[in-house]
């Protein structure tokens, strides 16, 4: 059977079995009874067993739903494209490109709430058109929190708009969302031409523009006022003592303190200054001008130090000797290669208690440097290297990933596992940006298939040193692999068993003599509702053959209904379970399930109305 419309009475045992399997799968997905990976793999296993025992035979006796057809999803071009784009996006994150752009926007916004919010959301929307929206949201969560704090507004007013803007941006190009790629791939499976890179950009821009207007002017009125959780590791507000050795090329040279604050050290408190001649200067630093070789004793939170180390990797560390590379046995500069920061706590029975960092030779012992010390009680004004360690002190350390992870074996200190965080490699920002731009340009021009351009970009990220192979594989999400493979297998089963045609026929019967415009609108609303109850990607794969079946029955271009699936499946705004970006902002915004219903449902309805009026006019229905 095919997805052509069939009489309601002409059904098969296999078709109803597939419907039961889909219903059970959607229930488990929605209730989190099992992990997504286990559920998806179980679906695939059950389908292989079922269709081996009850095959769908063609006229030549071949099983149309054999094992190879069911497992095709793992080699699907859309899946491979999504995974490759995740690696490319991670390369942009690791080099701090997005972070730099976000900070630039905050700077030019100059504290104007509406202007800054508009600029940030436009940038998020534009970036999500070409990058997977998950890393985009991850990068912008702390930016939005900073913006909320500076403007005295609760974080809950910014987190959900961030997620919504990223999803809206993904509607505008083929690679903007994995959902779009899956719809295009399903069209190929059905014997149709795939969607072009900018196939739906114009209606997508209309939908995104309408959505942004709602996010900026209406959503804040519906969102709660809650502060939310700190999204970044170590964001407890506790401060570390650190020291900055002023180099000859430092921007601090020649600077004066205005009201005890140095302009080049935002959000960092200078506790005291040790001059090269041994003189100690305490606040308010009147008539003091920074000179090379001065040592500034400073205090700030881990988050502030992380941002400082991202911009200036050696800011909190003096010149250190070369280290021995354990792999090659040769000396190499300490500052070369990957770096990460982590926190370690001095244990009660530690041999480090009562000694200074110089006395224990921390760097020679661990190949890591201490960037800051957090005391349990009073805040010291002396140099960090003069502080005698006590039980419970927390050290903020910086080092190569292997060396930092090796701290787990140290019995005198405990590595706080949650605290490990890699520093962006800004030195590779330009090459990462060039690779990303090349991927988009080649894919958009049609010079290479999108999957080829994306995979070449992912490989280039590793070959050029932007990230290593381990980091690239970590960017690949197992949930994405298994969910898409299972959804594609279910979509193929609906096509082969005639389930897609049956549901399309059922919908047309319910609409009576309604024209294509009404059918398109009703179909959009149905898909949008279900996208909020189950995975957006699963909905896209399952409803693409149904929409194409309806289009063929009405005698209209099937691409129109496929594009409707793209937009409707992405309208997963009314619940936090249907889209990963919603789950990302759930904690930082301190949202409840009902908050998404209140703020997201009107957006779904608004976009449905916009599509229902614009699409029939644009496509001439």
Residue 549 lies in a domain: no
* 332 plus 455 within the same structural domain: no
* 409 plus 439 within the same structural domain: no
For residue 494, is pLDDT > 90? no
Of 70-79, 132-141, 334-343, 502-511, least confident by mean pLDDT is 334-343
The C-alpha atoms of residue 372 and residue 395 are separated, in whole angstroms, by 6
Half-sphere exposure of 115 (CA within 13 A, CB side): 8
- pLDDT tens-digit readout, 80-116: 877 787 787 777 767 766 666 666 666 666 656 677 7
Residue 493 lies in a domain: no
Residue 1's SS3 state is coil
8 A C-beta contact, residue 481 and residue 83: yes
Neighbour count for residue 448 (Cβ, 10 Å): 14
* 387 plus 339 within the same structural domain: yes
Which CATH number does the domain housing residue 299 bear?
3.30.70.1450
* 432 plus 334 within the same structural domain: no
* 216 plus 127 within the same structural domain: yes
The C-alpha atoms of residue 142 and residue 152 are separated, in whole angstroms, by 15
pLDDT at 206: 95
For residue 311, is pLDDT > 70? no
The average pLDDT across 602-607 equals 95
**Percent of the chain scoring above 90 in pLDDT:** 10
In this structure, what token pair is assigned to residue 185? 């791939």
Residue 541 lies in a domain: no
* 212 plus 133 within the same structural domain: yes
Residue 255 lies in a domain: yes
Write the CA distances from 21 to 56, 58, 496, 550, integer angstroms: 16, 23, 15, 23
For residue 318, is pLDDT > 60? no
The average pLDDT across 275-302 equals 78
Phi-psi region of 389 (alpha: psi -120 to 50; beta: other; left: phi over 0): beta
The C-alpha atoms of residue 294 and residue 393 are separated, in whole angstroms, by 26
Of the residues 269, 287, 311, which one is the last residue of a structural domain? 311
Q: Which helix or strand (DSSP H or E) is residue 280 part of?
A: strand 280-281
Residue 14 lies in a domain: no
Residue 262 lies in a domain: yes
The average pLDDT across 378-403 equals 77
CA 11, distance to chain mean position in Å, is 42
* 282 plus 416 within the same structural domain: no
Residue 613 lies in a domain: no
- pLDDT tens-digit readout, 200-253: 899 999 999 999 999 988 988 888 876 554 443 444 457 787 777 777 777 777
In this structure, what token pair is assigned to residue 444? 């958009």
DSSP 8-class letter at 261: B
* 215 plus 106 within the same structural domain: yes
> CB burial class (10 A; 0-12, 13-18, 19+) of residue 436?
buried
Q: Give the residue with greater pLDDT, 59 vs 574.
A: 574
* 299 plus 364 within the same structural domain: no
Residue 501 lies in a domain: no
B/e letters for 248-268, b = 16+ CB within 10 Å, e = fewer, are eebebeebebeeeebeebeeb
Of the residues 311, 338, 360, which one is the last residue of a structural domain? 311
Domain ranges, residue 266: 239-311
* 218 plus 88 within the same structural domain: yes
Angle subtended at Cα 548 by Cα 547 and Cα 551, rounded to the nearest 5 degrees: 90
* 96 plus 223 within the same structural domain: yes
* 440 plus 400 within the same structural domain: no
Count of the separate structural domains present in the chain: 3
CA dihedral 249, 255, 260, 265 (to 10 degrees): -40
Of the residues 311, 344, 365, which one is the last residue of a structural domain? 311
The average pLDDT across 22-49 equals 81
């Amino acid at each position: 059977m095919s997805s052509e419309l069939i009489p309601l009475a002409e059904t098969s045992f296999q078709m109803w079995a597939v419907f039961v399997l889909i219903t059970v799968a959607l229930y488990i997905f929605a209730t989190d009874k099992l992990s997504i990976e286990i559920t998806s793999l179980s679906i695939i296993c059950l389908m292989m067993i079922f269709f081996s025992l009850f095959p769908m035979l063609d006229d030549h006796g071949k099983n149309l739903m054999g094992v190879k057809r069911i497992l095709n999803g793992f080699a699907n071009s859309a899946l491979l494209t999504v995974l490759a784009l995740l690696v490319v996006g991670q390369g942009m994150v690791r080099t701090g490109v997005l972070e730099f752009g976000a900070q630039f926007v905050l700077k030019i916004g100059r504290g104007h709430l509406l202007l800054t919010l508009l600029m940030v959301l436009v940038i998020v929307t534009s970036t999500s058109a070409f990058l997977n929206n998950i890393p985009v949201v991850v990068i912008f969560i702390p930016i939005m929190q900073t913006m909320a704090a500076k403007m005295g507004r609760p974080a809950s007013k910014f987190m959900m708009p961030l997620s919504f803007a990223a999803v809206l941006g993904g509607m505008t190009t083929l690679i903007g969302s994995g959902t779009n790629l899956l719809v295009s791939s399903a069209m190929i499976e059905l014997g149709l031409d795939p969607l072009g890179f900018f196939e739906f950009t114009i209606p997508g821009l209309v939908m995104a523009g309408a959505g942004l207007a709602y996010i900026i002017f209406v959503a804040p009125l519906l969102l709660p006022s809650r502060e939310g959780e700190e999204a970044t590791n170590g964001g407890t507000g506790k401060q570390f003592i650190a020291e900055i050795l002023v180099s000859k090329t430092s921007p601090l040279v020649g600077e004066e303190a205005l009201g005890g604050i140095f302009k080049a050290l935002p959000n960092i408190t200078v506790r005291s200054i040790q001059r090269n001649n041994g003189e100690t200067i305490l606040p308010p630093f009147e008539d003091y001008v920074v000179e090379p070789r001065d040592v500034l004793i400073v205090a700030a939170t881990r988050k502030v130090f992380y941002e400082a180390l991202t911009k200036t990797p050696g800011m909190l560390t003096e010149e250190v000797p070369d280290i021995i590379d354990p792999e090659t046995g040769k000396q190499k500069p300490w500052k070369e290669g990957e770096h990460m920061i982590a926190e370690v706590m001095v244990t009660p029975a530690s041999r480090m208690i009562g000694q200074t960092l110089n006395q224990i030779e921390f760097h020679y012992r661990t190949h890591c440097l201490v960037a800051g010390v957090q005391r349990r009680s009073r805040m010291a004004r002396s140099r960090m290297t003069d502080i005698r360690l006590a039980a419970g002190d927390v050290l903020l350390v910086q080092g190569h990933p292997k060396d930092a992870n090796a701290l787990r074996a140290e019995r005198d200190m405990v590595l706080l596992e949650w605290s490990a965080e890699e520093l962006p490699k800004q030195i590779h920002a330009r090459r990462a940006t060039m690779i990303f731009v090349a991927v988009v340009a080649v894919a958009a021009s049609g010079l290479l298939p999108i999957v080829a351009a994306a995979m070449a970009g992912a490989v280039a990220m590793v070959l050029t040193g932007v990230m290593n192979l381990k980091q690239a594989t970590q960017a690949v999400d197992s949930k994405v692999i298994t969910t898409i493979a299972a959804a594609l297998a279910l979509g193929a089963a609906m096509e082969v068993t005639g389930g897609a045609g049956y549901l399309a026929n059922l919908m047309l019967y319910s609409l009576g003599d309604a024209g294509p415009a009404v059918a398109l609108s009703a179909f959009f609303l149905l898909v949008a509702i279900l996208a909020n109850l189950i995975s957006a990607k699963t909905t896209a794969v399952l409803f693409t053959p149904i929409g194409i079946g309806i289009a063929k029955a009405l005698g209209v271009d099937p691409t129109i209904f496929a594009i409707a699936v793209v937009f409707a499946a992405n309208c997963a705004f009314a619940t936090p379970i249907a889209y990963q970006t919603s789950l990302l902002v759930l904690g930082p915004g301190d949202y409840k399930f009902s908050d998404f219903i209140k703020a997201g449902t009107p957006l779904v309805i608004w976009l449905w109305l916009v599509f229902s009026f614009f699409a029939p006019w644009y496509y001439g229905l």
